[in-house]
Homo-oligomer: A and B are copies of this chain.
Amino acid sequence: GYSGRTFWRWAVTAALGIVTGCVAVALSQLTNAIVAHRRARFGGDPGTMRSCILFDCLLACLAAGATTLLAPGAAGSGIPVVKAYLNGVRVRGCLSPKCFLVKFFGTAMAVGAGASLGPEGPLVHLGAMAGSFLTGGVRLRQTMPSFFRTDIDRRDFLSLGSACGFAAAFGAPVGGVLFALEEASSFWDDKLLWRGLVASSLAVFAALALDHGIIGLTKLSHYGLISLGGSDPNVSVELLVLAIPAGLVGGILGGFFVRAWALLERIRRLIAERSYSSRPWRVGARTAEAAFGVGITTLAFLAVAKTTGCVQIHEEDSEGRSHAWTTDSSFAVRFGCDDDEVNELASLWFAPRENVIKKILAGGAFSASSLFYCGCLAFATLLLVFGTALPGGLFLPLIYCGACLGGAAARSTKFENSKRFQAPAQRHLGVLGAVALLAGVQRTTVSLVVIVLEGTGNVHMLLPIVATTVVARFVGNLLSRGFYEVALHSKNIPFLEKHVPSNFDRKFVADVMKVPVVLTRLTTASAASEVLHACSHGAFPVVSSDEGPEDPSKRPLAGLVLREHVAALLAHRRDGRDDRRDRALSSAGWDGPQTPPRRLASGPQPLDLGPVMVRSPYVVYADCPLSRAYRLFVTMGLRHLVVVSHEDNSVAGVVTRADLAGCLHS
């Protein structure tokens, strides 16, 4: 039957989908407004190049400055922090309303300034934040039913939100759900999968309806912010062969990108540690870095566009290729060319990226050289701006580069003269190029394939897309680790992959466990406060105080208590019973920030930890294979696992996420 709880859960799920869809459209509209303004103002004349660079740098300064000052967690794509949260690691300041606003406006400004960044990653982050807000992240918690305050619900809604953000960005509901599923580490059951699909579909529908105006909506098509072109059933089998070189190039470029990015990140960190330790310096340096990256991007594109790229305006050439883009006044710009000409490269640069991708994949007749320049410049400048304080994601620039390079390959002489490939070559190679680059950099796999599938609306492309992904992923893995893995590692986040490392079969829990700090169930305020001051552990095994040997480490385990609950008990002198139900669930890993005890009561007053502890935590024995403990950790989303001894159920040790992560990289 459907209880009130189920009803509320579905209602909030639906609301989350609609809200995320609206956020996606608002972000896209704001970005496009900036891009359109920039294009109208600077697109006509190369003489305004300097002011264009100035304009872009100003926008970048604003975005980067706001991020560094107000919400450093908003920088970058945000997918790594969402991944970390869903994996069980809470990164601070990444889910606040301030972060939401900074991310929203910062992304619009960064993408609007022409930086090689996209709104897809930020939308995942924004969706996750929306999910967090709707379940009690902000003051709503008083009015919401109390069951949403459990951390399990919060985490579920966070992953639903990220699925919605993704779905709205790409118009790919199934892809969004799969993305959340591939990244969310914990317990996904059928019902959550189903709720995810409904929420994502609503997000996509809300985006579609808002974008067309609710009255103007007549056809269900072109959902997402990115459209990868319409369906085309004529997919030749030769495309499967072309998947191999495409994947090869994508894998090599992707591996190179990840390695170069990791190097830059290390340099950034080194400089940051050495040169500026004070806050104003840091803000200034981060802002300048972002402005520099954006300025260089604009300069590079415009400088090349100034010297090359003028083409005649005409509808169709003698070989039947469509030059319709040259007459599209919302796309083509003159940028100093003659009256009957437009500047190809400037058009590709000033137009919104989504439009460019669409035009390339629709087979618009751009020259191979322009596409090649565009792809190379976008790839190089992506390296420059991704990693600065600017909010913005990887997907759009990678798809842009891939489509440009794939299109350039299709326009090159060999393909132009081959009868077999000619007609669909640009479209298909563009898609394969985008897939190859995405797979080469990110290595996410199934969701990536589904996104592209849904984005292109063409299931017949499936086999070539899978083949390209296989090759690109394989080659990329030979050259470097995946981007997210590197990004999480560089942020020192103890991330646990879902896949159990093979060497864990030969290790045992005893090899990694740490000596525990235990509390006795019936203790005194002063003793507990002493323990809390002496170490920074997030949780403490509680041993029985009934009887048994004098040495607490020989007494049997009675439960597990979180640091914050002991601190709350000491600070407020309450038994904490009222919110035990919610908090007890959080014991398994979704505990809050490790607050230092405030207003600690100390002294010989007795303190009973019984009401706040979890009475039956997950436990393992010391001779348990590490692989089994790892599985328990990642599947149940644990943060602490108590190791007990066979003989007397006494506490032998504690395994934490950091212990396992350390073992992972050794």
A residues at B contact (CB < 8 Å): 3, 5, 173-174, 177-178, 181-182, 187, 189-191, 193-194, 196-198, 201, 204-205, 217-221, 230-231, 233-237, 239-240, 445-446, 449-450, 453-454, 457-464, 466-467, 470, 497-500, 502, 509, 544, 556-558, 615-616, 618-625, 628, 631-632, 635-636, 644-649
Contacts and interface: CB of A to CB of B under 8 A. Distances in A.
B619 A446 contact: no
Nearest to A212: B237
Given A231-B233, A619-B619, 7 more contacts: A182-B190, A190-B445, A190-B499, A197-B466, A204-B462, A556-B647, A646-B649
A609 B353 CA distance: 67
Contacts of A636: 631-632, 635
Contacts of A620: 616, 618
B449 A631 contact: no
Contacts of A236: 218-220
B446 A174 contact: yes
A31 to B, nearest CB: 24
Contacts of A497: 189-190
A197 B461 CA distance: 14
B198 A219 contact: no
A648 B646 contact: no
A292 B223 CA distance: 51
Nearest to A445: B194
A503 to B, nearest CB: 11
14 contacts: A173-B462, A174-B449, A197-B445, A198-B466, A219-B236, A220-B460, A221-B234, A556-B648, A556-B649, A615-B621, A616-B620, A616-B621, A618-B620, A649-B649
Contact of A624 (B182, B239, B616, B648): B616
Given A460-B221, A544-B647, A631-B636, A450 B174 contact: yes
B464 A220 contact: yes
Nearest to A3: B502
Copies of the polypeptide in the assembly: 2
B235 A204 contact: no
Contacts of A461: 220
A499 B194 contact: no
B233 A221 contact: yes
A463 B204 contact: yes
A609 to B, nearest CB: 14
A464 B220 CA distance: 9
Contacts of A239: 220
Given A201-B462, A623-B615, A623-B616, A557 B646 contact: yes
Contact of A237 (B204, B218, B623): B218
Contact of A201 (B198, B233, B466, B647): B466
Contacts of A648: 556, 648-649
Given A233-B231, A235-B220, A197 B449 contact: yes
A457 B454 contact: no
Residue among A194, A458, A615 with the highest chain B CB neighbour number at 10 A: A194
A177 to B, nearest CB: 7
Contacts of A454: 459, 462
Contacts of A190: 182, 445-446, 497-499
Given A457-B231, A462-B201, A189 B221 contact: no
B231 A231 contact: yes
A632 B618 CA distance: 10
Contacts of A467: 201
